[in-house]
Amino acid sequence: MGEEKPSHGGLGSLVSGVREVFESGRTREMEWRKAQLRGLIRLLTEEEEEIFDVLREDLGKHRGESFRDEVGVLVKSVRNTLNNLEKWAAPEKADTPLVSFPATAMVVPEPLGVVLIFSCWNLPLGLALEPLSGALAAGNAVVVKPSELSPSTAAFLAANIPRYLDAKAVKVVQGGPEVGEELMEHRWDKVLFTGSARVGRIIMKKAAEHLTPVALELGGKCPCIVDWLDSKRDSQIAVNRITGAKWSTCAGQACIAIDYLLVQEQFAPILIELLKSTVQRFFTKPENMARILNEKRFHRLTSLLEDQRVASSIVHGGHGDPNTLSIEPTVLLNPPLDSDIMTDEIFGPLLPIITVKKTEDSIAFLKSKPKPLAIYAFTNDEKLKQRIIAETSSGSVTFNDAIVQYGLDSVPFGGVGQSGFGQYHGKYSFELFSNRKAVLKRSFLIEFMFRYPPWDEYKVGMIRHVFNFNYVSLVLALLGLRR
Ligand code: NAD
């Protein structure tokens, strides 16, 4: 139901149909926007059980993980948008400088038009619906292209979005890269793409033909510094959070998963023991951890361990079962820095630990790498925290936890440099999908003739005073007492 079958030329009428709806003005109405957000909340709550089923089919996610990472966090986010929408959408009064006196100015957010959203398979519901909620809140018509690699969730979205949202203004198009390429032949007012840098480059090139603005939500290697933690309690809490972030969010297949740890040499043996015992406590049954997406991804991950130098650095786990597409939580100590596991994004349940002499040395290490989506650090040292904030660059920095920043509606989510650009979540989604239109209203009350030719030195002096914002000298100049 509601699914659009990709076919050559068929997408053209779909895209123009969505544009017609936008042109009709319907999506701009505040009531329409709120109805869509309420529809999203109903979709997420009424169809919760089916959502758990499709996420289990696609990725073997446990309903606990699915509720935490996809349904619960999303309902919270959409509610926040609904509660704040009128405030975000209201015109904002702006200062008017002397140069335009008398006047009033404001910033009026307006929808961009028709938005295309590409989502990724690892959080297949959230990465489609989180940006969708922002695009709808901003008053756009939207086409969503879910990843073909999570087909059950894609089919669920195609069947249910038309049931809960305005079926003419929001379309779901299923299919693989060829459908993505066909969609990119069309003109969009914004494209939000979540996925790999390789495809991100293709999207950006195609978007350039229509001068379409893009937001690229990419990945990379997110490092995590673990400082010496004096108290046993703090160390255990840190390891709970590292274990949860690395292995309980889609088995490490997350853009903001911890990719590797940077640990002070002396602390490494303690940390390894804590990681082993915590993994054993958290993953008592296989169903507590998601599986690897497919055979191709499974073999890519296991082949990272085939390098003899890497294999000999395994201190925990290392085994995978191709029949169930599961890989044990695996910890490695100092795999070579030039091995694939340390040069490529891991995107799976393998966790290298790289030791450093002093925790401060980690900062130089981070600065030598591309800017990641997230930097994590477990430390009680305030000076170290300040240095990380001041000296490194990343989409986000989180101290003493990991991944949870994704759930905050109050801070932007997005990358910088190689990890992408364009921030969303909460108000930042609304802004990403809006044009902040500058509106200036002048009056006919006063007319300053010095702004027009024929030029003379008096006029130039007057303009200088006006730009300098100095009322006293302006009055003196008007009275002819000062140039
Ligand atoms: P991908 O880049 O292969 O695919 C993403 C989307 O692009 C899919 O919908 C796919 O159908 C489409 N696509 C593929 N080829 C296309 C083409 N030629 N033209 C148009 N569309 C095309 O996805 P992947 O490599 O499996 O994704 C993993 C990457 O995504 C990782 O690097 C990860 O870090 C990143 N990621 C980032 C975020 C984030 O929010 N920043 C979230 C999840 C994943």
The string of DSSP codes covering 123-186 is: STTHHHHHHHHHHHHTT-EEEEE--TTSHHHHHHHHHHHHHHS-TTTEEEB---HHHHHHHTTS
In a domain, 48, yes or no: yes
CB atoms within 10 A of CB 46: 13
Asked if the structure places residue 469 within a domain, the reply is no
Q: Does pLDDT of 7 surpass 60?
A: no
Cα–Cα distance for residue pair 164/186, rounded to 1 Å: 26
> Does any domain span residue 70?
yes
Does residue 255 have an active-site annotation?
Answer: yes
User: Rounded to whole angstroms, how far apart are CA atoms 483 and 435?
Assistant: 41
pTM (2 d.p.):
0.94
Same structural domain, 346 and 282 = yes
From ligand 1's centre to the CA of 340, what distance in Å?
Answer: 20
My answer on whether 92 and 162 are in the same domain is yes
Average pLDDT on 363-373 reads 97
Contacts of 98 (CB under 8 A, 6+ apart): 466, 469, 471, 474
**Res. 376 pLDDT band, cuts 50 70 90:** very high
Same domain, yes or no: 114 and 230: no
Same domain, 272 and 194: no
Decide if pLDDT at 357 tops 70.
Answer: yes
119 C-alpha to ligand 1 centroid (Å):
7
Position 2 in a domain: no
Are residues 118 and 187 both part of a single domain? Answer: yes
- Output the domain CATH number for residue 366: 3.40.309.10
- Averaged pLDDT of the chain: 95
pLDDT tens digits, one per residue of 238-268: 999 999 999 999 999 999 999 999 999 999 9
Q: What is the CATH number of the domain that holds 110?
A: 3.40.605.10
Cα 71–278–402 angle (5° rounding)? 45
Does 147 share its domain with 77?
A: yes
Instruction: State if residue 180 touches ligand 1 by the CB under 6 angstroms criterion.
Output: yes
Output the pLDDT for position 3.
45
pLDDT band at 8 (very low <50, low <70, confident <90, very high): very low
Q: Are residues 47 and 195 in the same domain?
A: yes
Q: Select from 194, 201, 204, 249 the residue to mutate for testing ligand 1; criterion: most ligand atoms less than 8 Å from CB.
A: 194
Q: What domain count does the chain have?
A: 2
Cβ contact 188:115 at 8 Å = yes
* pLDDT bracket for residue 481 (50, 70, 90): low
Has residue 234 been placed in a domain?
Answer: yes
Q: What is the mean pLDDT of residues 47-69?
A: 98
250 is catalytic: no
Q: Is residue 430 part of a domain?
A: yes
**296 CB within 6 A, ligand 1:** no
Q: Containing domain of residue 249, as a range?
A: 223-414
- Judgement on whether residues 297 and 232 belong to the same structural domain of the protein: yes
Do residues 307 and 342 share a domain?
Answer: yes
Reply yes or no on whether the pLDDT at 98 is more than 90.
Answer: no
Q: How confident is the model at residue 453 (pLDDT cuts 50, 70, 90)?
A: very high
In 195-246, where do the E strands start and end?
214-217, 223-226
pLDDT tens by residue, 59-81: 999 999 999 999 999 999 999 99
Whether residue 84 is found in the same domain as residue 164: yes
The verdict on residue 237 lying in a domain is: yes
- 90-105 mean pLDDT: 88
Decide: 202 in ligand 1 pocket, CB within 6 A.
yes
Query: For the segment 307-349, what is each residue's pLDDT rounded down to a tens digit?
Result: 999 999 999 999 999 999 999 999 999 999 999 999 999 999 9
Q: Alpha-carbon distance 221 to 244, whole Å?
A: 18
Domain match, 78 and 163 both:
yes
Q: What is the pLDDT of residues 165-201, one digit of tens each?
A: 999 999 999 999 999 999 999 999 999 999 999 999 9
DSSP 384-397: HHHHHHHH---SEE
pLDDT on residue 473: 65
By CB atoms closer than 10 A (0-12, 13-18, 19+), residue 35 is middle
Question: In 285-372, which ranges are continuous DSSP H helix?
Answer: 295-304, 308-311, 340-343, 361-367
- DSSP conformation class of 424: B
Inform me whether the pLDDT recorded for 432 exceeds 70.
Answer: yes
Scan for tokens 């895209």, then name that residue.
15
DSSP code per residue over 87-135: HHHS-EEE---GGG-SEEEEEEEEE-SEEEEE--SSSTTHHHHHHHHHH
91 lines ligand 1 (CB under 6 A): no
**3-class DSSP state of 1:** coil
Q: Please identify which of the residues 47, 130, 217, 345 carries the catalytic annotation.
A: 217
- 204 plus 231 within the same structural domain: no
d(CA 93, CA 259): 44
Residue 353 lies in a domain: yes
